[in-house]
Structure 1
């Protein structure tokens, strides 16, 4: 019975770590953004330049440790590694939840978004499971001969590391973000009629001018008791608002596209019934300049021969973007949006979206953008 329970925990922990690492390795750039949030919270922003490398290595470590536990190789070291890793994750999720800093931990990437307290609860359950193989670490036997097990472990490490590097260079295998291929951006921004919206409770701090008595009341009590009609009672300070019940939330809620003068072009750009080629470079200071030059040549041909509207979307300042455009002789129109939705649109800097009527027809990492002839044959000739 005891051996069966150890095996159960061993399999559960191994598979959970592999799954967690695999989901994050599917989108290492997104995971690196999450690490940067933690670096900001702990005031260690100097690590930002290493965030991507750390993200890929951390995903690889999770998958390798999970696989190693399953096959029973180097059980003592693996058990220690798993224990330290889950304690580290548990600390981060508790800190996020208690101090309300990073509101999604990124434990399972964007595939399974969890609140900080859900993430912490998950880590505590996993910690209990990890303790079983840890306590019995010297009893765990490999399912292969030592030399064979080591070869399997090396192979798993190579595959895990290679997967993270591949998805970084060619975008996620599965896109869990709202800007996936086939999504209609205006539809994803709408709130359907009749849905349950966020429900808030407002708390008032009241003081009686005559007696000095104080009271704290919810907005419902405040209205029900008609105390607001009594001139002797006054509201002290600013009423506090608290979310009571989470309601419907559009998948896309923070996208606003503007020109250099601050004019809103969101509706116009997303209602174009013809193809638009959108180059997304959330940070022009760090974008791949060679890729920008190639995309600019593509934009010139698309505009001149098929009148395709070509756009550069960035979060840089207008002054910075215009200087960049001048230096690279860009022919695209330049528009501006917040960096958060731009990072969600495409996991590349730069990346490319092909839009029509606000629908994402296709999207590419700058490594995989089709040639001009390929775009013409598949899309522009059929417009």
Structure 2
């Protein structure tokens, strides 16, 4: 039992530190995932949505701290109880999400490692088993240092987490795991290879035969059945290849300008996914940077999911010398974790991404 506890302690502690560390690198992204869970069609807790970012930061800091506490053996009883309560909650959440197909990615490891809902549930079940072993053998979890030293270690870990979270929220994630990271080509990211796996569907054909309902399942072909056709239900049983970038468009007045924009040698995109939620103190800096970019020969466009009335109001208020185009809100949230934020491209390749706090660093040479 003693050696089992030591192995479980190492695995659980490392996983919690890694999982929390990945999410603390991008707490904004985790907050978007929490907003999905708080939605009316999932947990129906919309009143928590405005606090999603604060909850996200709190959860990821606690996740990292519990992992460190377990590894160093600081307050083992409190640590194991906290781990157990947390994993029970997240196991319920991932099961609910998987069973009812509500949230397709739990966000357990941010954008670094994508897990299906059932994979997430399986991962949490393994962790639950390991934590139950820790709970049963918690007397074997011995401190690796004195109480005083452990206190200093935990204080340092807490300060480090808070400082890092503050930094990435006021700039951008230190490591970008998304398909729009610097160096990525958006056009290439949308390509579907010719030999890519195709989706596979199961069709349940309903017929009335001799007064009874009969169901015949096929993978597409209409079955030869003696009877009256009632209807058909379709279910995807195998997902096809989905390119890393599959929902990127640049539209204006009903026209798609994606191709022409991605062919520009010098393009700056100002992204404000939702004008109602934008940090308006960022627009003066964006104004100065984009004026400089336009003078240097760059084409500058705005990208938002907000309506024309709202984008026009922002343009006039801050005297922005560029037009706004429409793009899906989720896509814009994925591109950059700043509202507003700036992305500089060369022929579809991302060469620079900036939080509005760093707008002055826009390179225009």
Q: How would you bin the TM-score normalised by the shorter chain?
A: over 0.9
SS of the residue corresponding to residue 124 of structure 1 reads helix
C-alpha distance in 2 between matches for 1:221 and 1:215: 17
Q: Is the 8 A contact 2:285 2:360 kept in 1?
A: no
Alignment of 1:29-68 (within 5 A): 29-40=28-39, 41-68=42-69
1:252 to 223, 228, 245: 245
Q: Is the 8 A contact 1:25 1:60 kept in 2?
A: yes
Q: CA deviation at 1:63?
A: 0.7
Alignment of 1:53-132 (within 5 A): 53-132=54-133
Alignment of 1:1-383 (within 5 A): 2-40=1-39, 41-208=42-209, 211-220=210-219, 223=222, 226-227=224-225, 233-237=227-231, 239-259=232-252, 261-272=253-264, 274-303=265-294, 305-371=295-361, 375-376=363-364, 380=365
RMSD, aligned CA: 1.5
Q: CA deviation at 1:100?
A: 1.0
Q: Is the 8 A contact 1:204 1:217 kept in 2?
A: yes
C-alpha distance in 2 between matches for 1:173 and 1:347: 11
Structure 1's unaligned 5+ residue stretches are none
Q: CA deviation at 1:335?
A: 0.4
Q: Is the 8 A contact 1:203 1:219 kept in 2?
A: yes
Q: CA deviation at 1:353?
A: 0.5
C-alpha distance in 1 between matches for 2:108 and 2:219: 38
Q: CA deviation at 1:264?
A: 1.1
Give CA-to-partner distance per residue, 1:143-191, whole Å, 9 cap, x none.
Answer: 1111111111111111122222222222112111111111111111111
Give the direction of change, closer, same or farther, for the CA distance of 1:262–1:11 in structure 2 (3 Å limit): same
The alignment's TM-score, normalised by the length of structure 1, stands at 0.91
C-alpha distance in 2 between matches for 1:84 and 1:371: 45
C-alpha distance in 2 between matches for 1:77 and 1:371: 46
C-alpha distance in 2 between matches for 1:125 and 1:193: 38
Q: Is the 8 A contact 1:201 1:218 kept in 2?
A: yes
C-alpha distance in 2 between matches for 1:26 and 1:167: 7
C-alpha distance in 2 between matches for 1:222 and 1:179: 39
C-alpha distance in 1 between matches for 2:16 and 2:152: 20
Deviates more, 1:133-142 or 1:166-175: 133-142
SS of the residue corresponding to residue 20 of structure 1 reads helix
The alignment's TM-score, normalised by the length of structure 2, stands at 0.95
Structure 2's unaligned 5+ residue stretches are none
C-alpha distance in 2 between matches for 1:101 and 1:339: 19
C-alpha distance in 2 between matches for 1:27 and 1:166: 10
Q: Is the 8 A contact 1:280 1:313 kept in 2?
A: yes
Q: CA deviation at 1:214?
A: 2.4
C-alpha distance in 2 between matches for 1:298 and 1:165: 24
